[in-house]
Amino acid sequence: MKLTTTWLATIAGALLLSCSTPQNEEAPSLKKAYQDKFLIGTALNAGHNYGTDTLGIAVIREHFNAIVAENCMKSMHIQPTEGVFFFDEADHFVQFGEENNMYITGHTLVWHSQAPDWFFINEKGEDVSREVVIERIKNHIYTLVGRYKGRVKGWDVVNEAILDDGSWRNTKFKEIVGDDYIKLAFQFAHEADPEAELYYNDYAMAQEGKRNSVVELVKQLQAEGIRIDGIGMQGHMGMDYPDINEFEKSIDAFAALGVKVMITEMDITLLPFPAGETAEVSLTAEYQEKMNPYAAGLPAEVEAAFNKRYSDFFALFLKHSDKISRVTLWGVTDNDTWRNDWPVPGRTDYPLLFGRDYQPKPVVQQLIDLTKE
Ligand code: 9MR
C-alpha cells in the first residue's frame, strides 16, 4: 500500500489520540465531568440539524447532553407567513436530541426581534386589534409547542422583553396587547404542553435594573398562578463585562424565587466592542481592520486570560450548582459563532470552547479539572 499524505495524517492522528488519552482512561468529556452538577448544553445550527457538519456533531455527542435551537424555531423561520409553517429543520433538531438522549430546549416563542410583521398588521398594513394579536400568539404557541409536546422539555417562552435599566421593552407585542402579553404567552405554552418547563430568557442579567425587573415579573406571574419554571441568563460576555459579583447577585436573586437558574447562550468575545454588555441583534458597525486584531491567530497571553475568565465563571457556576440546572454554550466551534459577524461583520472571534479545527481548546480540560477540586 502506498502511504499517501492522508494516510500519514490519519496514523499521526491516531497516535496522538492514543498518547493523549492513557489506556483505561476515558477521553475528557464536559458532560461526563459535570454530570452530577448541571447539564452542559450547546446551540445547534442548520449544519448540525441536517447532519452536514459531521465533525461538529461528533463534538456535540461527546461533550454535551442538552441542546437548544439556535435559529430554526424562531417565528420568522418557522412561521414566516401566517399559517405557513416550516417544521423540517426543527423536526430534525428534535429527532437528533431524542436519538442522543439530550435535554431539548425550544427557543423561542415570543421575541420582538425575529417576529414577522404579519403578527401585527392586516392586509392593508394597519395594526390589528389586541384580540387578533392574542389569537395569533396563541395559534403560534399552540402549533409549535403542541407539535413537540412531551419531546421538547423546556421552552424559552419570552425572550428579551426587559431593557437593561429595568423598563419594559416597547415591542409591538406590548404596544398592541399590553403588559399581559407575557403572562398570556406563558399561559398558552402551559396549555399546549402542561408537562413542559417554561422559561424567561434575557441578556445583561447582571445589570441591577434588569435583575430587579425580572424578579418583579416572575413574582407577578407566580402571584397570578402562571407556571414559570426557570430564568435563562444569557451568557454573552466579554473580558470586562459582566462584573462577576453582579452576575452572582442575579443567580442568588433568581434562585430565591424558587425557580431554576440556567446560564444560556454563553460565549466570551475577545474582540473590541464599542457597545458594552448587550446582545441586541439590531446593533451594527462597519468593518475596520483595527476592530479585528486576531485574524491571524490568538496571542498566548490573550488565550491565557480567556481561559481564566471561563474558569472564573465555571467556578461560580459550580459554587451555585444547587441552583443552576444547565449551562449552555451558544454554539460549538469558533467557526459557528454569531460573534464573527456581530456587531461588525467579517471578524475572527474565539468565544467558544472548541476551535476552528473542532478540537477542544486547552480551557476545556481546565473546566473539567474544576469539577475535581
Ligand atoms: O446566534 C443567532 C444568530 O445566528 C441569528 O442571526 C440572530 C438573529 O436571529 O440570533 C442569534 O441568537 C440570539 C438569540 O436567539 C437570542 N439572544 C441573542 C443571540 C445572539 O444574537
Mutate to test the pocket of ligand 1, among 338, 341, 352 (most ligand atoms within 8 A of CB): 338
Confidence of residue 110 (pLDDT cuts 50, 70, 90): very high
Residues 89 and 107: their CA atoms lie apart, in Å, by 13
Unique residue bearing C-alpha cell 445550527: 45
Does pLDDT of 247 surpass 90?
yes
Give mean pLDDT, residues 12-34: 65
Mean pLDDT of the chain: 93
265 is catalytic: yes
Give mean pLDDT, residues 102-124: 97
Q: What angle do CA 50, 10, 14 make, to 5 degrees?
A: 100
* Per-residue model confidence (pLDDT) at position 193: 99
Does pLDDT of 276 surpass 70?
no
224 is catalytic: no
Ligand 1 atom index nearest CA of 342:
21
Residues paired with 199 in a beta bridge:
156, 230
Residues 38 and 116: their CA atoms lie apart, in Å, by 35
Pairing between β-strand 197-202 and β-strand 39-44 as defined by DSSP bridges: unpaired
pTM of the model: 0.92
Closest alpha carbon to 269 in 236, 295, 296, 298: 236
How far from chain centre, in Å, is Cα 118? Answer: 26
* Close Cβ partners of 53 (under 8 Å, ≥ 6 residues apart): 45, 47
Give the amino acid at 40: I
Cell of 135: 389569537
Per-residue pLDDT tens digits for 136-176: 999 999 999 999 999 999 999 999 999 999 999 999 999 99
Cell of 80: 414566516
* Per-residue model confidence (pLDDT) at position 289: 81
Say whether domain 7-370 belongs to CATH 3.40.50.150.
no
Residue 154, Cβ density class (10 Å: 0-12 exposed, 13-18 middle, ≥19 buried): buried
Does pLDDT of 90 surpass 60?
yes
Tell me the Ramachandran region of residue 361: left when phi exceeds 0, alpha when psi lies from -120 to 50, beta otherwise.
beta
Residue 53, Cβ density class (10 Å: 0-12 exposed, 13-18 middle, ≥19 buried): buried
Confidence of residue 283 (pLDDT cuts 50, 70, 90): confident
Over its C-alpha atoms, the chain yields an Rg (Å, rounded) of 21
Residue nearest to atom 7 of ligand 1 (CA): 281
* Close Cβ partners of 126 (under 8 Å, ≥ 6 residues apart): none
C-alpha pair distances (Å), 74 with each of 46, 70, 86, 128, 353: 13, 8, 11, 22, 25
Mutate to test the pocket of ligand 1, among 68, 162, 281 (most ligand atoms within 8 A of CB): 281
Closest alpha carbon to 119 in 83, 150, 95, 148: 83
Does pLDDT of 109 surpass 60?
yes
Per-residue pLDDT tens digits for 209-221: 999 999 999 999 9
| 67, 42 contact by CB (below 8 A) | yes
| 254, 231 contact by CB (below 8 A) | yes
Task: Determine if ligand 1 sits within 6 Å of the CB of residue 366.
Answer: no
Residues 213 and 161: their CA atoms lie apart, in Å, by 10
Residue nearest to atom 18 of ligand 1 (CA): 279
Cell of 290: 483595527
Confidence of residue 274 (pLDDT cuts 50, 70, 90): low
* Per-residue model confidence (pLDDT) at position 280: 74
Residue nearest to atom 6 of ligand 1 (CA): 338
Mutate to test the pocket of ligand 1, among 45, 68, 70 (most ligand atoms within 8 A of CB): 70
